[in-house]
């Protein structure tokens, strides 16, 4: 067995350790598997016995491909399936690692408490826990923001909720606005009734149309509109939308003059609740560019770089161990522990790689192999004894390479 790609092992010593066939079929013994390997590689073995062993060796590969024992498959099909699995594995790992850490950053909000601490909020319990641990380790962020708000005359006891955009911009959360929007989204029929009426009047909604409450508390078109009279008349005769909004305003003690509505060509009515207090807070947040960027950078650092280099070693129980100098090694190990489907795919790739290795050991060209054998069933897969698999997966720069173990027996 030739030794290649030694540098890819990062100077770690792996041992081939007397490779043998690991038979997975019922009623077969370990000794018969070892005998099969001997006949496969023996110098004096006949081509007939070698091909017979090759058939036995490939039984697991057909199982990995989901083929029944009475199916037929060519060596080329096995090779193509292995490459398909490698591509699927690579994409699965790249996407999975990129989603580690905070999986739904857009759903996170942050509450600045009275004492200057920051609380992470999210419906995703994992995201909330992960982000909160980082915030607790960086207490100065909230304390500095609380001081800046106090310097601007903002009530020191005010609880402030904020979001961070993709660019790191801090935005104050208008809880009243968000709650009322959820109410309107939950009763989409209100919006559809208005849209249908406007369509019947020939009103163009491509640019949207705005509404507001006038001094008498009636919902009317705002900003002027050529069909304002007809629209306002319909709104007066069909007050369901206005009543729903007023009900929510009364519950929250918000003046109707602070509310504006807009209906577009699609979706529900969008509501905006203006607040002078929140506007003052937003003015302070707009000046806190560095704070938002620090939190955004911290959030990004909680994930794993999908191009991180590491090796996968197969354990006797079918699990994999991660070998890497990366500071994220434990995170990568946890990722694979929590994704058994990817581990299974890697084991399949390992098995199919063993088929190619066996063909090369027999020194038979692929076209000659296709002429001389029709692989009808699969039995064992190529695996090492004791603690090391026959192949190691090297994941580097977002790609998987299967590397044979090194024969270091002296």
Determine the average pLDDT of the residues in 118-141. 90
pLDDT band at 11 (very low <50, low <70, confident <90, very high): very low
Determine the average pLDDT of the residues in 402-407. 48
Please give the helix or strand (H or E) that residue 120 lies within, else none: strand 118-121
Distances (CA, A) of 113 to 110, 136, 141: 9, 13, 12
pLDDT band at 359 (very low <50, low <70, confident <90, very high): low
The 3-state secondary structure of 308-341 reads: CCEEEEECCCCCEEEECCCCCHHHHHHHHHCCHH
pLDDT band at 379 (very low <50, low <70, confident <90, very high): very low
Q: How far apart are CA 396 and CA 382, in angstroms?
A: 23
pLDDT band at 58 (very low <50, low <70, confident <90, very high): low
Query: In this predicted structure, what is the pLDDT of residue 135?
Result: 92
Please give the helix or strand (H or E) that residue 234 lies within, else none: helix 228-237
Q: Does residue 201 have a pLDDT over 80?
A: yes
Determine the average pLDDT of the residues in 276-288. 84
pLDDT band at 356 (very low <50, low <70, confident <90, very high): low
The number of helix segments (H) and strand segments (E) in the chain equals: 15, 14
DSSP string of 121-149, one letter each residue: E-S-HHHHHHHHHHHHT-THHHHHHHHHH
pTM score above 0.75: no
Share of the chain above pLDDT 70, in %: 70
């Amino acid at each position: 067995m030739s030794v290649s790609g030694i540098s890819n092992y990062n100077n770690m010593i792996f041992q081939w350790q007397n490779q043998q066939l690991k038979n997975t079929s019922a009623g077969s013994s370990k000794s018969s598997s070892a005998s099969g390997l001997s006949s496969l590689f023996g110098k004096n073995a006949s081509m007939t016995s070698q091909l017979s062993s090759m058939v036995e060796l490939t039984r697991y590969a057909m199982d990995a491909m989901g083929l029944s024992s009475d199916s037929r498959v060519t060596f080329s099909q096995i090779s193509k399936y292995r490459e398909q699995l490698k591509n699927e594995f690579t994409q699965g790992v790249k996407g999975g690692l990129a989603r580690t850490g905070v999986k739904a950053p857009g759903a996170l909000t942050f509450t600045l408490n009275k004492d200057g601490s920051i609380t992470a909020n999210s419906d995703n319990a994992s995201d909330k826990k992960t982000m909160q641990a980082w915030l607790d380790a960086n207490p100065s962020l909230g304390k500095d923001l609380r001081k800046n708000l106090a310097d601007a005359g903002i009530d020191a006891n005010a609880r402030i909720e904020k979001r961070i955009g993709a660019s790191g911009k801090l935005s104050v959360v208008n809880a009243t606005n968000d709650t009322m929007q959820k109410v309107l989204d939950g009763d989409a029929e209100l919006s559809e009734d208005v849209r249908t009426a406007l369509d019947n009047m020939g009103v163009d909604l491509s640019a949207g149309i705005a509404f507001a409450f006038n001094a008498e508390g009636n919902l009317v078109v705002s900003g002027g509109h050529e069909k304002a009279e007809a629209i306002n008349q319909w709104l007066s005769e069909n007050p369901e939308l206005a009543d729903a909004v007023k009900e929510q305003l009364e519950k929250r003690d918000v003046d109707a003059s602070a509310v504006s509505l807009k209906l577009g060509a699609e979706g529900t009515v969008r509501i905006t609740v203006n607040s002078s207090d929140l506007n003052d807070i937003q003015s302070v947040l707009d000046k806190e560019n560095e704070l938002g960027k620090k939190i955004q950078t911290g959030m990004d650092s909680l994930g794993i770089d999908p191009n991180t280099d590491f090796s996968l070693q197969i354990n006797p129980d079918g699990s994999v161990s991660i070998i890497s100098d990366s500071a994220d090694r434990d995170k990568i190990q946890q990722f694979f522990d929590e994704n058994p489907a990817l581990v299974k795919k890697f084991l399949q790739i390992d098995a199919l790689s063993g088929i190619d290795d066996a063909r090369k050991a027999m020194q038979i060209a692929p076209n000659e192999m296709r002429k001389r054998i029709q692989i009808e069933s699969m039995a064992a897969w190529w695996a090492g004894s004791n603690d090391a698999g026959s192949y190691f997966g090297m994941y580097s720069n977002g790609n998987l390479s299967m590397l044979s173990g090194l024969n270091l027996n002296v």
